[in-house]
């Protein structure tokens, strides 16, 4: 049974296994997605930042969507990243995703030349008009170097098919204040990325957690999500405390490097980082494995 909205609850973002040439391992991707379906996450974020969308060709992105749709078979909503430098390319990617059977879109304002607020608005408007799929704004200034003003988010929320925003953690840590201001100005479903702040964001009233670790440890992430959204402060913080060592290595090495190493370790699949990104060296890999192994065992034993 599908979630009533792909933009509420735990949205799990798996890595995209590929070879050094950017050719996707669709069998390996299917194994990752099957675990997410079995865990009953609220949605799957395919081809997000963790899913290396920015490094893949249009053809490989379409292969990934087709393989995901074939694997998931409607059990969980698929939210597909459609970000691209050019507006016409993003429109093509959005149409590809819809034609292949995606349920929703995620769009970041990817750019080389910094965008103005109006340029970003027109970019989103063009993509939103290109399909009937509901769209989530991907606000990720750490990679796009673009910051959405609240006025821009308000304008975008007036576009019929734009339904949600994926926010970074606020610099000042005032989640409740930010949520109140966003709800005052928009009707968007408001979710957060930045896994180490997920418990606080959900306890503050966020609608969704767009989760990197949810793509690999979905039971743990789902247990935290449910506890926090039910207002069970103690349980949410207990689970977050278990994950603190992982959050520290995410910050130290970058979550993408840690997650691709974990994917290979968990499922014995080849998940190459796209160059120029490099795999963790032997000493760093050993350190990370020592930290994540207890979490992997906990996930497998369903002791949550």
Query: Catalytic positions, please?
Result: 138, 166
Half-sphere exposure of 264 toward its Cβ, with a 13 Å CA cutoff?
Answer: 16
Omega before 100 within 30 of 0, i.e. cis: no
Q: Tokens for 274?
A: 């796209």
- In the block, tokens 């910051």 appear at 147
**HSE-CB of 178 using CA atoms within 13 angstroms:** 21
* CA distance to 69, 105, 190, per residue, from 55 (Å): 21, 18, 27
d(CA 51, CA 212): 10
142: helix, coil or strand?
A: helix
Residue 1, judged by CB atoms within 10 A of its CB (0-12, 13-18, 19+), counts as: exposed
């Amino acid at each position: 049974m599908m979630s009533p909205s792909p933009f509420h609850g735990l949205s799990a973002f798996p890595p995209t296994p590929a070879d050094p040439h950017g050719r996707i391992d669709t069998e390996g991707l299917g194994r990752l997605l099957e675990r997410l379906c079995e865990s009953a996450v609220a949605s799957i974020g395919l081809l997000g930042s963790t899913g290396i969308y920015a490094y893949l060709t249009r053809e490989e992105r379409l292969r990934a969507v087709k393989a995901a749709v074939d694997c998931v078979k409607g059990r969980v909503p698929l939210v597909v990243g459609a970000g691209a430098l050019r507006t016409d390319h993003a429109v093509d990617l959005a149409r590809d995703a819809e034609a292949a059977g995606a349920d929703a879109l995620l769009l970041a304002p990817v750019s080389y030349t910094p965008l103005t607020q109006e340029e970003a608005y027109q970019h989103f408007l063009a993509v939103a008009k290109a399909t009937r799929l509901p769209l989530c704004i991907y606000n990720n200034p750490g990679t796009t170097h673009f910051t959405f003003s609240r006025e821009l988010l308000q304008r975008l929320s007036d576009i019929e098919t734009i339904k949600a925003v994926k926010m970074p953690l606020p610099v000042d840590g005032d989640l409740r204040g930010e949520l109140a201001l966003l709800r005052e100005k928009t009707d968007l479903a408001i979710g957060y990325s930045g896994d180490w702040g997920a418990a606080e964001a959900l306890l503050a009233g966020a609608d969704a957690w767009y989760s990197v670790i949810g793509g690999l440890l979905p039971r743990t992430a789902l247990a935290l999500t449910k506890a926090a959204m039910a207002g069970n402060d103690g349980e949410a913080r207990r689970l977050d405390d278990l994950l603190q060592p992982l959050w520290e290595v995410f910050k130290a090495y970058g979550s993408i490097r840690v997650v691709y190493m974990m994917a290979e370790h968990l499922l014995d699949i080849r998940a190459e980082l796209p160059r120029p990104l490099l795999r963790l060296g032997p000493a760093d890999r050993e350190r990370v494995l020592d930290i994540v192994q207890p979490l992997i065992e906990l996930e497998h034993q369903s002791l949550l």
